[in-house]
Structure formats: C-alpha cells, structure tokens
Amino acid sequence: MKLLVVLAAVTALCAGSALPTIPGDNSHYVEGESRYVWMPDGEGVPHLVDLHAPVEQKLLETRNGANNQYWLFTRQNPNNRQIIVHGNANTIWSSNYNRNRPTKVVVHGWNSNGNSAMNPAITSAFLAVQDCNVIVVDWNQLANGLYTVAVNGVPSVGQFLGNFLTWLINTAGGNWNQVHLVGFSLGAHVVGNAGRTTGSRPIRITGLDPAGPQWGGNSRALNRNDGQYVEAIHTDGGLLGIFDQIADADFYPNGGRNPQPGCAISTCSHSRAPDLFASSIRTNHFSGRLCANINQASNNQCAGGVLMMGNAILNKRGSGIYGLRTGASWPF
C-alpha cells in the first residue's frame, strides 16, 4: 500500500512538472499543482508560463507602479491618446479631461500593453454609449516579463493607480460616484488594489476573468470590499481564471469554465471575458439568472431573478451568483 501511495505521488509530481507541447492546450493543468500553463498575450497568442520561475526582487524595485502610464480618450479624441502624468497638473489642463463626466478606467493583463486589443474594444464601446473620460492604464514594463514577477508587482501597480486617481480628482475635480474601474486577468487584481488604496470609493469595479494561477487564497486578490459595488465575469474558472465567488455579483457565462462557445483552444476562454464585456456595454443584452449555488451556475441551471451582466451603468447593484448562456461569436 505504501508503495502505491509513493508511486501515485511521483506520478502526480511528474504530471505537474511535465512540459506541455501543444500551444494553448491546458488540458494537463491542475490548479495548485501544475508548474506550466499556457497563457494568452494581449492579442490572444498563447505563451508557455513557468509558475515556479523565481522572482527577482531587484527587478520589482524598478519595474513597479511608478512606471504606469495613463492614457486619456474622450469623444473629442477617441483614437488619439492624451497622456496624463501623475503630479503634473498641466497635463490635465492641456487634455480633454472633464470633471463633470463619468470616468472609466481600463487595465490590461499579463504580456499586454495599452494598445492590446481589449483596450480599443472597451474604450470605443464606452464612448459609443456615453460621453465619458476613458483612462487606459499601460503597465507594460512590468506586465511584459515573467508572470511570477508580474503577479508580485500587481499590488504596486494598483496602489499607484489608486493614488493617481485620488490626485486627479483632488486636482481637477470629479466624483467617485462616477468612477468605474475595469480590469482583465491580472488587471482585475490591479483595479482591486486600486480601489482598496482609495478607501473603496469607486462606485463600481468590474473584474474580467480575474487571474487564477497564484491568486487562490491571495489576500491581494480582487474582492467585494474593493469598491462600492464589485462584480466579476468568470469565463475560464479553474484554469487561467478564478472560479470561486469573490465579488458582490459573480457571473458565470456558459458555466464559467473552458471551453466557451466558439473557442478552439483553451486560452481563448480566458480572453472571452473582455469581448463579452465590450459587447455588453454596447447592447446590454446578457441576462444573468440568479443561482442557488455555484454548482447550478457551472451547469447552466439557474432560473432565479435577473441581473444584467456587464454594461456601463454606474449605479448598478446586485449580489449573488448568476448564470447565463451566450453565443459563440460577436456580439455573442
């Protein structure tokens, strides 16, 4: 019996450490055990990540939230960014920032930058339905490196973002009841830390498939206390995203797991979250149904009250677990 236990343990260790060879195929992955996993970059291309890669602390001293860039887009400049520099008020006065408008903040994930596909998709959707300030956060210096390093740098990126927003509102005006933070993957944990830094003042925070690897039980992960209302959209739970309920309202489209409809490789399911959100802003057509438990959500068996998934409504409120089905292609 002891020999069988030892053999089982060795087999599990080998499976967890085996180097996967098919790009984008995470069928081998076991949460909390596997060393390697495929993750998509900002254009959806899968890259192999070593979750045991050592973190260089000296790197974090230079590649941290101090390097964040804040790109402003409005209806006056929908395609050409205006960079606002934290501490330089002149960069606000020379921009199209308007304190009377709602302010949307969009944060990318790992191996991405301010130009990655999700940013123009979500920015253009917001500007199509609302006269608002959209601030795209570019934290590429830290995001475009080892995943383990980026994970450790997320709190700093979020804290600098929170301090920037506080400075922006204190300097140029604005209203926390009109501030909506949106983050994808690691970016979801960035906006969580940003909200926490401001004293949970943003009226709404949306986490798009919050990153899962190395975030289970992590006290710095996005949670329901980070803003006045916090929601999460789970599309790759248990693989690249967190599956557990972490927000006021948690949405589980198509069961919240891989594969999402229309996805040929598993990393596509993770990237589906920002696509669904961009679509929801424009049309607000995703009707989530309240579930009795997460099991119902994962099996698409929810039939309770309705709460719309995503959208741009600032005073949105709701709580609980919600399930729904979507289509396989835009607008889903």
CA gap 219, 212 in Å, rounded: 13
- Sheet containing 69-74, strands listed edge to edge, beginning at the edge strand earlier in sequence: 77-84, 69-74, 133-138, 103-107, 179-184, 204-208, 230-233, 249-253, 320-324, 287-290, 306-308
Residues 186/118, Cβ–Cβ less than 8 Å: no
Catalytic residue among 116, 156, 185, 279: 185
Q: For residue 64, give Cα distances in angstroms to 92, 148, 224, 245.
A: 23, 14, 25, 29
- Catalytic (active site) residue 185: yes
Virtual CA dihedral for 261, 264, 267, 272, nearest 10 degrees? -30
- Catalytic (active site) residue 189: no
DSSP 211: B
Catalytic residue among 138, 270, 275, 280: 270
CA gap 168, 84 in Å, rounded: 9
CA gap 322, 250 in Å, rounded: 6
Peptide bond into 155 cis (omega under 30): no
Q: What are phi and psi of 86, to 5 degrees?
A: -55, 125
Catalytic residue among 41, 209, 248, 275: 209
Q: Which helix (H) or strand (E) is 262 found in, with range?
A: none
CA 53 to the chain's CA centroid: 22
Residue 38 tokens, joined = 């495929």
The amino acid present at 64, given as its one-letter code, is N
Virtual CA dihedral for 302, 231, 137, 220, nearest 10 degrees? -110
- Catalytic (active site) residue 131: no
Q: Which residues are catalytic?
A: 185, 209, 270
